[in-house]
Amino acid sequence: MSDLLKKAISLGWGLTIVSKEKVESIVDELVRRGELAPSESKQFVERLIDKGAEEQERFKELVNEQVRTVMQGMGLATVKEVEELKRRVAELENRSAESASESDPS
């Protein structure tokens, strides 16, 4: 597994684990210590939650891209490719059945 993928997974898990309550608790601690004004705390929590959601989305996209890259490297077919092959096989089976019925003298 690439270092980038390992880092992305670690970051994503970290962002997933941090709940709104945990963020609020951290912000409350900042307010208690005087490092953040009480009037700014709600807005700060909302910004952190929004940032976490953005990071989760980026993490999801990164993981999806890494999975696609690995699958392509392994030579695995996509769902779309498998569906196309199924369609083509069915078409060939129909042609074969038609040819057999046309050449059948009964």
Contact partners, residue 59, CB within 8 Å, separation at least 6 = 8, 9, 11, 12, 15
The pTM for the full model equals 0.49
Burial class for 52, CB neighbours closer than 10 Å (0-12, 13-18, 19+):
middle
pLDDT tens readout for residues 36-91: 788 888 888 788 778 777 877 888 898 889 888 888 889 888 899 999 999 999 99
Cα 83 from Cα 19, distance rounded (Å): 40
